[in-house]
């Protein structure tokens, strides 16, 4: 498991929508998720902002079923705080 301090820093993208979605998942779901999902989340954070935004908005398909599950989980972990497009 990657240290959450580093992950929190990586969740700060400079785009409020991405920041909110990624930080919410980190705070509410990351610690309880399986190691495979944690590794997938860390790999997702290595991607460029435009890729992440397109993926989370549904404009880009996930590369695998595990990634698709993670994206759905990220979009629904925000406790209703995310904008309409993220749902």
Task: Please identify which residue in the block is written with the tokens 């404009």.
Answer: 59
pLDDT value of residue 55 = 96
Q: Which tens digits make up the pLDDT trace of 16-74?
A: 989 999 999 999 999 999 999 999 999 999 999 999 999 999 999 999 999 999 999 99
Is residue 85 very low, low, confident or very high in pLDDT (cuts 50, 70, 90)? Answer: very low
pTM, full prediction: 0.83
Q: Find the domain containing 30 and state its range.
A: 4-86
Q: What is the reported pLDDT for 78?
A: 66
Q: Which residue has the tokens 């498991």?
A: 1
Using alpha carbons, select from 64, 62, 80 the residue that is nearest to residue 24.
80
| CATH code (residue 22) | 1.10.150.250
If you write DSSP's letter for every residue of 48-76 in order, what string do you get?
-HHHHHHHHHTSS--SSHHHHHHHHHHHH
Domain count, the chain: 1
């Amino acid at each position: 498991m990657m240290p959450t301090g580093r992950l929190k820093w990586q969740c700060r993208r400079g785009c409020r929508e991405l920041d909110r979605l990624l930080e919410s998942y980190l705070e509410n779901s990351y610690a309880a998720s399986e190691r495979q999902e944690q590794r997938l989340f860390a790999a997702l954070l290595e991607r460029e902002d435009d890729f992440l935004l397109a993926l989370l908005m549904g404009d880009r398909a996930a590369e695998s079923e595990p990634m698709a599950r993670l994206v759905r989980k990220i979009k629904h972990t925000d406790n209703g705080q995310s904008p309409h497009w993220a749902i």
